């Protein structure tokens, strides 16, 4: 299941005096099983682009092929595409509307006309995957959930449709560190265990550093960088010029490098950073007092 | 003689969910805030931070204990106007604080409520907008501002009431990193240049370390209270309370475990880099 | 799909003409007087004078006439149907049949009443349009609040009503954006808004309406808290930064209005309709 976009352009309020172009000549391919992070300053066009992945938008200029099907083709079943490419929005309150958690998660599969037993099975599976205990939360009122729990319920609601690709649009925004941890763990599990292709839109470099293998940087409606995470994060100056803060750990490496430490910039996490620093310190003969 | 602005004495508060069920939100909280302080309040979700904040301007009344602003008790309804003038509050959602369609009219809302003369309102609105570098947006439609700008307008609206203290309840949670920085810069300026007491509630550690005093809450109690360096010298306790350490500190602690001689209170990237350079040059 | 494409409420076209500069209280009162007059006019002659007056006003606003009249387009089908109904169904005593079409008989009274009604609706539209195109929403709210202020004594919450109006307007784009996001979120879960019969499509409104309403209530609660924190305790005791001040052109406008209204009343009284 793959996504292929060629020559995509998108304008708001097209045809009116308020027309504004927000996507310029986008060319992009995302393959099965990838974990792609999309980042960029606000108004870069990230969400607009992502909404072509599940055929919320259908191209007027350019071509969008999802799983080999042209979304602009009148014969393509867009609803089927929306089940295969799940999209979780930032605000779970835009999605949750049924009285109980269980009913809301069941909404998607019911729309897919799944038989009763299968709906039940899918709801169970989805709740388990996101870490909401079936017995505790199935009959819970959606209003009684915390922010993090609501996000997980929303993700479960999309997972219950059994998508092959999952788009997550800024789902960690506004969460406290614990809530963030929970969500990131769930997403990692989805990619690792269920082999779902993940497209993760975020404004937090740190979140992307943890999980994404490939990073796409967008700015003012264009894709300005596209490559392996290590490579992209190392381009500290370029990222800063776009108004983006590189992951904290890279920022530290960058400063060390400026002061003459020979450390690589293409690291992804704390362990790698510590190793690099350790190596440099040992080489320069710094004392280690072992207690 | 310390100039106490806000005094919280043995305050208890619980939310009543039903006949038999209530959630304890504040448990014997004691706090003194002096004029001109620059304080951050951190804690996990559910620790009582927002509940405490809402006691400081009388939006919530304690179930037991007392809250006094400038010596005025929140128990007395007639004091509320003066209290809310002295303690302004900015909330998390940028949209749900703005009432008017035009920026300068929204900033005028507070002073209008106080019955201030129109000419004076105009002066205050201009001053507030200028202080926040928003003067060029004065006639803009509020609905078309970015979230970051909306938060700045909200702060301007509170500033126009000439408060002695501004309490901000996770004002940057929904903002992008750039806007977050802007808001923090503004708060620092307001504190240093205008002498306004600032109490910021946040769950971003990088924000908390920039403050003069950090309060840590858990389970409705204030567990830790001191300058950030002191607070972060107790990483185990912080971990127990479910709080993250700033990354430079985490790295310094790990390197310290391996025997490298680094001080236990490194909070910023700059400090870490400087200390590592020192180590290298000593070798 | 882009729901926010055509959201333009109360199209206000800023300008610096005499009409634009009038105090909103003057304009609102004038509009009310003109609307009242319209309901009493029953002769072609009176309408001609009224139309001439409106034409003069429209020209004074310097808004392109084509733009003003373009707002009538959506109304034309309805107007036509209403005119036909009057033409064929009105048969007051003393009227004569002027022609018949199949089983329908048109009376001269019907023709007259139908035509007069259509003209009345068009002129009504013009009065409201001149008002909203030359007065911003904020000005309208301020004007309404000021006009209703004397009624506070008998319990009319003038400030609260005006403020409610302003808040509603300020949230229109926010809510439109939210509606769009909700629709997209439910589309993403497989709700196909463009399929199904009438009943099925109507049912699809719930996944959209419920989150919208719930969020609106939450917003309201948060907004009230924020307003309380800024010392809002209702309309009494409040001052306003912008004080409405009438000037010479307002006095002039009132004089013109008075003369016109007096003339109209005279016409109405002296030249009665045939029926």
Which ipTM value was assigned to this complex? Answer: 0.91
Q: Which residues of A touch B273 (CB under 8 A)?
A: 252, 255-256, 259
Average pLDDT over chain A, rounded to an integer: 91
B residues 65-94 lying closer than 8 A (beta carbon) to A: 92
Percent of chain A with pLDDT over 70: 99
Please, which pLDDT band fits residue B1 given cuts at 50, 70 and 90? low
The pLDDT of residue C91 is 78
Residue B96 distance to chain C (closest CA, Å): 5
Q: Considering CB atoms only, which of C189, C211, C215 is closest to A111?
A: C189
Indicate whether A141 pLDDT > 70: yes
Query: What residues contact A221, with CB distance under 8 A and at least 6 apart?
Result: A21, A22, A23, A24, A44, A45
Tally Cβ neighbours within 10 Å of residue B207.
Answer: 20
Q: Does B259 touch chain A (CB under 8 A)?
A: yes
Q: Does B261 touch chain A (CB under 8 A)?
A: yes
Q: Considering CB atoms only, which of A147, A179, A252 is closest to B248?
A: A252
The pLDDT of residue C13 is 78
**Residue of chain B nearest A259, judged by CA positions:** B277
Under 8 Å between Cβ of C37 and C50? yes
- Full-model pTM: 0.86
Indicate whether B137 pLDDT > 70: yes
Inter-chain CB proximity A285 and B146 less than 8 Å = no
* For range A227-239, the mean pLDDT: 91
Long-range CB contact pairs, B181-185, < 8 A, 24+: B182/B148, B182/B152, B183/B148, B183/B151, B183/B152, B183/B155, B184/B210
Q: Of C5, C21, C33, which Cα lies nearest the Cα of C263?
A: C33
DSSP state letter for C62: T
Q: List the single best residue of B94, B151, B279, B281 to mutate versus A (max A Cβ within 10 A).
A: B279
Strand partners, A202: none
Residue A105 distance to chain C (closest CA, Å): 10
Do the bridges between strand B221-226 and strand B213-218 make them parallel or antiparallel, or are there none, so unpaired? antiparallel
Residue B176 distance to chain A (closest CA, Å): 7
Q: Considering CB atoms only, which of A16, A83, A96 is closest to C5?
A: A16
The pLDDT of residue C1 is 43
Residue A139 distance to chain C (closest CA, Å): 19
Please, which pLDDT band fits residue B171 given cuts at 50, 70 and 90? very high
Q: Considering CB atoms only, which of C166, C174, C229 is closest to B100?
A: C166
Residue C122 distance to chain A (closest CA, Å): 27
> Which residue has tokens 């589309």?
C187
* For range A132-144, the mean pLDDT: 91
Q: What distance separates the 2 farthest-apart alpha carbons in chain B?
A: 69
Average pLDDT over chain C, rounded to an integer: 85
Q: Of C243, C231, C236, C220, which Cα lies nearest the Cα of C159?
A: C236
Inter-chain CB proximity C238 and B88 less than 8 Å = no
B residues 81-100 lying closer than 8 A (beta carbon) to C: 81, 84-85, 88-89, 91, 93, 95-100
Q: Of C117, C126, C131, C125, which Cα lies nearest the Cα of C41?
A: C117
Q: Considering CB atoms only, which of A41, A248, A285 is closest to B247?
A: A248
Distance CA A252, CA A233 (A): 12
Measured distance between the N- and C-terminal CA atoms of chain B, rounded to whole angstroms:
49
Which CA distances in Å does C245 have to A97, C24, C31, C139, C259? 49, 10, 19, 12, 23
Q: Which residues of B touch A278 (CB under 8 A)?
A: 255, 258
The pLDDT of residue B190 is 96
Indicate whether B112 pLDDT > 90: yes
Average pLDDT over chain B, rounded to an integer: 92
Inter-chain CB proximity C240 and B118 less than 8 Å = yes
Q: Let me know how long chain C is.
A: 275
Please, which pLDDT band fits residue A290 given cuts at 50, 70 and 90? low
Under 8 Å between Cβ of C123 and C51? yes
Distance CA A209, CA C42 (A): 77
Q: Which residues of A touch B (CB under 8 A)?
A: 41-42, 146-148, 173-174, 176-179, 203-204, 243-245, 248-249, 251-252, 255-256, 259, 261, 270, 273-274, 277-278, 280-281, 284-291
Q: Strand order of the sheet with strand B64-69?
A: B22-34, B4-16, B64-69, B72-73
Distance CA A165, CA A191 (A): 10
Indicate whether B18 pLDDT > 80: no
Distance CA A176, CA A153 (A): 17
Inter-chain CB proximity C211 and A161 less than 8 Å = no
The pLDDT of residue C5 is 40
* For range A218-244, the mean pLDDT: 92
Indicate whether B2 pLDDT > 70: no
Q: What is the DSSP string of A235-289?
A: -HHHHHHTT-PPPHHHHHHHHHHHTT----S---SHHHHHHHHHHHHHHTT----
Q: Is B31 helix (H, G, I), strand (E, B) or coil?
A: strand
Distance CA B236, CA B245 (A): 10
**Residue of chain A nearest C209, judged by CA positions:** A97
Total beta-carbon pairs less than 8 A apart between chain B and chain C: 95
The pLDDT of residue C8 is 37
The pLDDT of residue C258 is 93
Inter-chain CB proximity A94 and C210 less than 8 Å = no
Residue C124 distance to chain B (closest CA, Å): 28
Inter-chain CB proximity C219 and B144 less than 8 Å = no
**Residue of chain C nearest A20, judged by CA positions:** C5
* For range A173-193, the mean pLDDT: 89
Residue C221 distance to chain A (closest CA, Å): 15
Residue C231 distance to chain A (closest CA, Å): 28
Q: Which residues of B touch C232 (CB under 8 A)?
A: 109, 113
Token couple for C167: 């808040």
Q: Which residue has better confidence, A61 or C5?
A: A61
Helices B247-257 and B269-282, packing angle to 10 deg: 30
Q: Which residues of C touch B121 (CB under 8 A)?
A: 239, 241
> Which residue has tokens 């708060």?
B187
């Amino acid at each position: 299941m793959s996504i292929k976009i060629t020559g995509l352009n998108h304008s708001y309020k097209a045809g009116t005096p308020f027309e504004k172009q927000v996507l310029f000549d986008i060319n992009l391919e995302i393959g099965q099983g990838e974990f792609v992070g999309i980042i960029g300053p606000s108004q870069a066009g990230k969400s607009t682009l992502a909404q072509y992945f599940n055929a919320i938008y259908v191209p007027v200029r350019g071509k969008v092929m999802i799983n080999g099907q042209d979304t602009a083709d009148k014969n393509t079943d867009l609803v089927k595409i929306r089940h295969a490419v799940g999209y979780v929005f930032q605000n779970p309150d835009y999605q949750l509307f049924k009285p109980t958690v269980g009913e809301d998660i069941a909404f998607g599969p019911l729309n897919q006309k799944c038989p009763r037993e299968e709906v039940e099975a899918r709801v169970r599976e989805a709740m388990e995957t996101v870490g909401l205990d079936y017995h505790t939360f199935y009959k819970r009122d959606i209003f009684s959930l915390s922010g993090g729990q609501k996000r997980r319920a929303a993700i479960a609601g999309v997972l219950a449709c059994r998508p092959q690709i999952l788009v997550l649009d800024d789902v960690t925004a506004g969460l406290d560190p614990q809530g963030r941890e929970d969500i990131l763990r769930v997403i990692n599990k989805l990619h690792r265990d269920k082999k779902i292709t993940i497209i993760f839109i975020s404004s937090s470099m740190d979140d992307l550093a943890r999980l994404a293998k490939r990073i796409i940087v967008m700015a003012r409606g264009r894709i300005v960088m596209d490559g392996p995470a290590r490579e992209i994060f190392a381009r500290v100056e370029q990222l800063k010029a776009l108004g983006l803060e590189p992951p904290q750990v890279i920022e530290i490496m960058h400063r060390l490098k400026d002061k003459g430490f020979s450390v690589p910039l293409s690291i992804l996490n704390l362990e790698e950073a510590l190793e690099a620093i350790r190596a440099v310190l040992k080489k320069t003969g710094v004392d280690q007092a072992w207690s | 003689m310390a100039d106490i602005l806000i005094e919280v004495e043995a305050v208890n508060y619980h939310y009543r969910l039903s006949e038999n069920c209530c959630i304890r939100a504040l448990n014997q909280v004691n706090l003194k805030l002096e004029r001109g302080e620059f304080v951050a309040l951190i804690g996990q979700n559910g620790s009582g931070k927002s509940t405490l904040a809402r006691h400081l301007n009388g939006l919530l009344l304690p179930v037991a204990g007392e809250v006094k602003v400038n010596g005025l008790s929140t128990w007395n309804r007639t004091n509320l106007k003066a209290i809310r003038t002295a303690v302004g509050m900015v909330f998390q959602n940028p949209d749900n604080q703005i009432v008017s369609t035009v920026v300068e009219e929204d900033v005028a809302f507070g002073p209008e409520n106080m019955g201030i003369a129109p000419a004076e309102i105009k002066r205050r609105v201009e001053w507030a907008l200028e202080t926040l570098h928003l003067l060029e947006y004065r006639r803009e439609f509020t609905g078309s501002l970015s979230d970051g700008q909306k938060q700045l307008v909200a702060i301007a609206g509170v500033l126009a009431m000439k408060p002695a203290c501004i309490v901000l309840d996770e004002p940057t949670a929904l903002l992008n990193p750039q806007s977050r920085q802007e808001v923090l810069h503004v708060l620092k300026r307001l504190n240093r240049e205008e002498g306004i007491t600032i109490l910021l509630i946040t769950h971003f550690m990088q924000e908390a370390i920039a403050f003069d005093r950090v309060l840590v809450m858990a389970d409705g109690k204030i567990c830790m209270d001191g300058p950030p360096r002191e607070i972060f010298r107790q990483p185990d306790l912080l971990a127990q309370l479910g709080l993250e350490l700033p990354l430079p500190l985490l790295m310094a602690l790990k390197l310290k475990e391996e025997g490298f001689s680094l001080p236990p209170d490194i909070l910023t990237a700059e400090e870490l880099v400087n200390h590592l350079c020192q180590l290298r040059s000593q070798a | 799909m882009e729901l926010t494409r055509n959201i333009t409420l109360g199209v206000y076209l800023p300008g610096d003409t005499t009409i634009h500069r009038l105090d909103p209280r003057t304009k609102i009162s004038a509009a009310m007087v003109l609307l009242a007059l319209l309901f009493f006019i029953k002769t072609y002659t009176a309408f001609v004078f009224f139309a001439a007056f409106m034409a003069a006003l429209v020209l004074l606003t310097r808004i392109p006439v084509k733009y003003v009249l373009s707002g009538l387009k959506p109304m034309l089908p309805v107007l036509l149907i209403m005119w036909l109904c009057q033409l064929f169904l009105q048969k007051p005593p003393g009227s004569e049949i002027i022609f018949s079409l199949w089983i329908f008989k048109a009376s001269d009274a019907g023709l007259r009443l139908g035509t007069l009604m259509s003209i009345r609706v068009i002129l009504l539209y013009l009065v409201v349009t001149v008002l909203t195109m030359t007065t911003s929403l904020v000005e309208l709210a301020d004007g309404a609040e000021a006009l209703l202020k004397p009624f506070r004594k008998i319990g009319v919450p003038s400030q609260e009503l005006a403020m409610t109006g302003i808040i509603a307007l300020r949230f229109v784009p926010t809510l439109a954006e939210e509606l769009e996001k909700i629709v997209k979120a439910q589309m993403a879960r497989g709700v196909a808004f463009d399929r199904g019969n009438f009943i099925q499509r109507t049912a699809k409104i719930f996944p959209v309406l419920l989150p919208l309403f719930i969020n609106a209530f939450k917003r309201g609660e948060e907004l009230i808290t924020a307003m309380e924190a800024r010392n809002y305790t209702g309309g009494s005791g409040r001052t306003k930064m912008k004080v409405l001040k009438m000037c010479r052109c307002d006095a002039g406008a009132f004089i013109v209005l008075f003369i016109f209204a007096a003339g109209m009343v005279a016409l109405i009284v002296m030249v009665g309709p045939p029926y």
